[in-house]
Amino acid sequence: MADLLGHLVAGRYLIKAFVASGGMASVYRAQDQILEREVALKVIHPHLATDRSFIEKFRREAKMAASLSHPNLVNVFDQGTDNDITFLVMEYVPGINLRDALNDFGALSPDRVLEILEPLTAGLAAAHTAGVLHRDLKPENVFLSDNGTVKLGDFGLAREISSQTQTGSIVGTAAYLSPELVLRGQADARSDIYSLGVMAFEMLTGKQPYAGDQAVQIAYQHANSHIPAPSSLNPKVPELLDEIVLWATARNSNDRPASAKELLPVISRAKSDIKRGLTTTFEDFGLIRNNTEVFVAPAGATEVIGEYQIDKAEQSSDGFVKLKKANRRSGRWVLILTLLAIFASSGAGWWFASGPGGQAIVPELEGRSLEVAISALEPMGLTVLEQQEHSAQVPVGLVIRTEPTAGTRVFKQSEVTLFISLGPRQVLVPESLGLDLEQATKLLESTGLIAGNVSSFFGLAEAGQVLAFSKPTGTSLAEGSVVDLRVSLGPLPDVVGEDFSQATQTLESLGLTVTSLEVFNDDVSAGRVVSITASSDPLPESGSVTLNVSKGPEFITLPNVVGETVAAAKNALESLGFTVLVDTDQLSSRFGVVKVTRQNPAASSRVRVGTQVTIYTR
């Protein structure tokens, strides 16, 4: 996507800074010009903005998110389209996200975990009460604002709750996927609870419960293993928090809280009791845990999950059951069958959509930094390669293009090459002498420069020849720089000696503006052009010229200098344009004393300027 900094979206949202980019959209910090407040502007990538079905889904989900209002949810203010920009306007939360906090500080103290978990659960409870699933709970979507508020955001994968919401394909981040999403591609409020429990585990231990080189390995473990108690990694975790995490992350969704609304009071009391130093257990909440792995389950039959079986006949009066070890051989077969289930039926949707067998759409990354581009591609399961090349349009260090190109569907684990700009090459301005316009233009292009504006000037070169480039020959310029050209119109016509009116007509026919100035001239008849003066050099085709027009010779009445000193008389006559001859027997050193006795021509004669006047002292 082109750089949107400074762009005014929908005549209202002025984009101030880039925040982040993902597989679906880029997020900017913007200023709402009407309400004068900062907002977060999510702009859908161009290749998705042309997909009608995607946009319709995006609008429905935006309306759903906008229907939610809670202090611990990031509010959605507006949604719309401005030309090719499809956008969502959300509350801007200054601060960091939970992922930043975990990266900086690692495991958090139980008190701090509950301070985050309580408002987070409250916000999720508001969504569940309104009938909305989040479906993408992870630390990146939990915002810790500078004023201490915890907010849950990015309902980009939100859906209305049904008893078994069919996702069509598995969504969300593999590290937080619930078993039912992995195995059946189905989700309800309890799937959000599972993701919340995984986040609680990560906050308490500083690690995710499962690790793997590929997403399918992590998803497999979620489907076939019980998440351990956090205290097994961090002995400082109180037993009550162990119980809450195990309850929220029960592999069977029936054994979890039905929604965040059911979980919230337990977390609130746990926060209060732990803060006061009280040792509280599940029994104090009216809940009983009979063994190391205990989950709520409906009475009825025996259900086999992984290497464990739940004997419904052994269910206690409180609705809790014990887990027994099943026959290990049977367990192995169940594991194999479970793995196959990932690739079959609804589980195949995960493999071919979000798993390694799935496809991703290469986002538009032109103009993004390398770090932003990598952060957009790697979460999609793509392998990033880097290559550098020169670019006259893209600044140094930013992405020029990708290979495959933006909008291309590729399989997960595919390689995407980022071409990073080295900036423009440096080239030298060539010599233009003797070239016509076509030749000069081709020469610039072959050099890596762009022929710019063409200006025409009168000059000594024949018409059509290039007089010069706007930059001197040999100047070093960035490749792609624009160089203007000056082309000759040929020399000005010679109108000296012509009648003024005829000369004016000739010059005006060339597009020139003509003015006149009358001058005395001994050689050119009155009314004819003595000379032409251009307003600039070189003279553009729309320039102006001044015609100096003869008034003929200049005559002046000769003054009387008899009785003046020789020096005074000589200066007076020369200042009028006469040449002076002194006929004397005196030394020049006495010219300031000796006086003129007569002159020739005589005083009061009409004499042409330039005529010789003789003065006498004897």
Distance CA 48, CA 426 (A): 37
Distance CA 259, CA 32 (A): 36
Distance CA 10, CA 439 (A): 46
Q: Do residues 500 and 527 touch, judged by C-beta distance below 8 A?
A: yes
**Pair of tokens at residue 175:** 């590290």
Residue among 75, 76, 84, 85 at smallest CA distance from 15: 85
How would you class 445 by CB atoms within 10 Å of its CB: exposed for 0-12, middle for 13-18, buried for 19 or more? exposed
Q: Do residues 74 and 142 touch, judged by C-beta distance below 8 A?
A: no
Distance CA 256, CA 8 (A): 47
Strand partners, 308: 305, 325
Cis peptide, bond prior to residue 404, ω within 30 of zero: yes
Residue among 407, 351, 374, 566 at smallest CA distance from 46: 407
- Give CA angle at 180 (176, 181), nearest 5°: 55
The dihedral over CA atoms of 191, 197, 202, 205, expressed in degrees to the nearest 10, equals -150
Distance CA 67, CA 597 (A): 117
Distance CA 260, CA 264 (A): 6
Angle between helices 260-275 and 110-129 (to 10 degrees): 160
Inter-residue long-range contacts of 64-68, CB under 8 Å, 24+ positions, other chains counted: 64/132, 64/155, 64/158, 64/159, 64/160, 65/132, 65/155, 65/158, 67/130, 67/132, 68/126, 68/127, 68/130, 68/132, 68/155
Q: How far is CA 65 from CA 196, 320, 608, in A?
A: 19, 36, 100
Distance CA 467, CA 474 (A): 16
DSSP letter at 436 equals B
Out of 3, 104, 136, 192, which one is annotated catalytic?
136
104 catalytic per annotation: no
Distance CA 333, CA 338 (A): 8
- Overall size of the chain counted in residues: 618
Distance CA 561, CA 563 (A): 6
DSSP letter at 560 equals P
Around 79, how many Cα atoms within 13 Å sit in the side-chain half-sphere?
A: 18
**Can you list the alpha helix ranges (DSSP code H) found in 253-324?**
260-275
Known catalytic residues are 136
